[in-house]
Structure 1
């Protein structure tokens, strides 16, 4: 729902977390019926170009993170994206950090932006459309839930559903059952399940929320969905079970924005204390406020400032979000000298040129640097945030 200028402003002010389910929904448009004289491929290209490669992150798939969590690998649920393809590096001055390569999803988006689609893309898109548009998929599930759980009390609101689920998840007698539910519902392999149960038996206290906090959260969300569906408090629109997947990524963001009816109905019951939910309409309004303000500026330095920070207008939506999470605007501001800027550029070059240090990843708890690599075409918006094409902006300066 955002136009190119709004998309560019979004990436200037926020780090969008691109979820794998969104990537699949974009690809799924390949098999939409053509309408208004536009091909499905053109629609996918247009959407892919809105998922800009710079200042964004593609999160690891939730199913992989659930399995990691159950196996004992730490999954940080600290409101930051979790990305893959990480390589440990060491710079010439002995500083250690990570280089993040393009993920499979990012590489796919790069191809789609240029209109390149493989036969596999076509087949996956077709399968995705078939699975996600079955009209009776949730109606059948609703009937199965009613038959399989006839003893649970009838619930009249989603708040009652949340309270009921919280009781189930907290009951000491249910902890092993929740673990089994998790393994079955999220398709954990038999090999991994054996290791997980062995780890579970070694726990002095059988408490699932501390055993695997992220997996616990995902079980809570899924159980909430099932019980809400069973009590006719969540609709049977086929896409609801796709929209459910976005909620599994809440622990990896601070702000969740959506215009989806299902999301709006349940989000306030699932978000944490640090989270903020704003509707898609509110987000669009906030970006338009910033764009409108920028259009009134005449000084180059003032215009360039809006590439790095939103207008300092307390009533603006973006200002309020920055103020909440960044203690912004700062009480004291220091002008950075040209010499400091040059030193920072040299240090960045040092980090980019850092060499491999195999086997050291586990030893780096607090990396000195993180370098994110991404592929950008000449027709993509310039990473500087100007809104111009890369070919017409900083590429000319190289």
Structure 2
């Protein structure tokens, strides 16, 4: 709950794939496979967790002229432009993935989700390694010459950014993405109109994903990453979403070794056990509050991490949100707070009809307002996420921000 509260979590699409994959595994003694998935779903960041657009979708968008920002923001799909409540902006309603996790918490699994996850996992896992090896030879790549992961990363970057043999590079990138041959001609035609620039300039995010894939294959060839674990290719896929975050959190040893090689200078890798320990410190700190105070909901008394001493979570905030300690916290339960007026304003905005492309007369990338809807439990664990007195609807409360 505290992780969800203090961090805006980028939910990688692969997380959904791996969670649903547990339905086909042998469960622990005394549990069903459905029980395992429900337990995972119970821990899902529901208040501030946001599913990212799948990397293949973002790469294909770039190949057709839509630049992908790689400065730390989450790529969210499904927003609709609206005008309402005196504002112009975008409304993001609860995603299909988030709704699925809500169902999974109650043990409800749809066959379409099982089928979808199976196809998704197959796309990520299945790769013609013989064809990859052939393309590597064409490009003159010898991964066995690398002695360290740093060398493998450097070689991968040089391959992705080079200009010679452009078609072989593009074809290999499309092979890694699983793009069907029927789309190749259109992609190459558009690329030709720009005189075949390097991938790093033409489609930077595609080049980044390509670099991660190259790095992984080179590291495998050099025995820097063990080839016995088929799940390693799934695990390395989480690095595709590094550009859309400020912090990368993992308890996976492969991530611990590889993720720091791809971080921007303003990003940070957090080892999962360290963060978990830090969150437990925060939990112990706020448990000391009176019951009456805790009943107001964590949004009222824990808008920020503790400032009293150097808590682990607080130091992470210091690095990425400098100046937060000096800002005054807002009491949303202040008696001067015009609750009914705000609710009407929010409803007018979020319930406004979607605008057509011709009707949008404002900058979508810099709107007046942005609304993201969530279905959250009133109480999670021993903590009220929203004030205790707020009425619930079917044990969940809709949150609009």
Answer yes or no: is 1:308 the counterpart of 2:299.
Answer: no
Q: Pick from 304, 316, 324: which aligns with 1:321?
A: 316
Whether the 8 Å contact between 1:30 and 1:125 is mirrored in structure 2 is no
In structure 2, the CA distance between the partners of 1:144 and 1:198, relative to structure 1 (3 Å rule), is closer
Whether the 8 Å contact between 1:97 and 1:364 is mirrored in structure 2 is yes
In structure 2, the CA distance between the partners of 1:227 and 1:111, relative to structure 1 (3 Å rule), is same
Q: Pick from 54, 78, 89: which aligns with 1:85?
A: 78
Query: After superposition, where does 1:53-202 map in structure 2 within 5 Å?
Result: 53-93=46-86, 95-123=87-115, 141=129, 145=133, 149=137, 152=142, 154-202=145-193
Whether the 8 Å contact between 1:63 and 1:186 is mirrored in structure 2 is yes
Aligned to 2:36: 43
In structure 2, the CA distance between the partners of 1:190 and 1:363, relative to structure 1 (3 Å rule), is farther
Structure 2 distance, partners of 1:147, 1:326, is: 44
- Aligned CA RMSD, in angstroms, stands at 3.3
In the TM superposition, residue 66 of structure 1 has moved relative to its aligned partner by 0.9
Whether the 8 Å contact between 2:166 and 2:196 is mirrored in structure 1 is no
Q: Could you tell me which runs of 5 or more consecutive residues in structure 1 were left unpaired when the two chains were aligned.
A: 1-7
In the TM superposition, residue 89 of structure 1 has moved relative to its aligned partner by 0.6
Whether the 8 Å contact between 2:9 and 2:45 is mirrored in structure 1 is no
Q: Pick from 191, 201, 211: which aligns with 1:210?
A: 201
In structure 2, the CA distance between the partners of 1:130 and 1:18, relative to structure 1 (3 Å rule), is closer
Aligned to 2:351: 353
Q: Pick from 250, 262, 270: which aligns with 1:270?
A: 262
TM-score scaled by length of structure 1: 0.84
Structure 2 distance, partners of 1:364, 1:126, is: 35
Structure 1 distance, partners of 2:346, 2:337, is: 12
Whether the 8 Å contact between 1:31 and 1:126 is mirrored in structure 2 is no
Structure 1 distance, partners of 2:120, 2:178, is: 18
In the TM superposition, residue 44 of structure 1 has moved relative to its aligned partner by 0.7
- Work out which structure has the larger RCO, using CA pairs closer than 8 Å and 6 or more positions apart in sequence: 1
In structure 2, the CA distance between the partners of 1:389 and 1:168, relative to structure 1 (3 Å rule), is closer
In the TM superposition, residue 177 of structure 1 has moved relative to its aligned partner by 3.3
Aligned to 1:4: none
Whether the 8 Å contact between 1:382 and 1:394 is mirrored in structure 2 is no
Task: Between 350-359 and 43-52, report the one with greater CA deviation.
Answer: 350-359
Whether the 8 Å contact between 1:168 and 1:174 is mirrored in structure 2 is no
Aligned length in residues: 382
Structure 2 distance, partners of 1:381, 1:240, is: 38
In structure 2, the CA distance between the partners of 1:210 and 1:59, relative to structure 1 (3 Å rule), is same
Q: Could you tell me which runs of 5 or more consecutive residues in structure 2 were left unpaired when the two chains were aligned.
A: none
Q: Pick from 381, 388, 392: which aligns with 2:384?
A: 388
In the TM superposition, residue 299 of structure 1 has moved relative to its aligned partner by 8.5
Q: Per the alignment, in what secondary structure is the counterpart of residue 373 of structure 1?
A: strand
Structure 2 distance, partners of 1:389, 1:331, is: 25
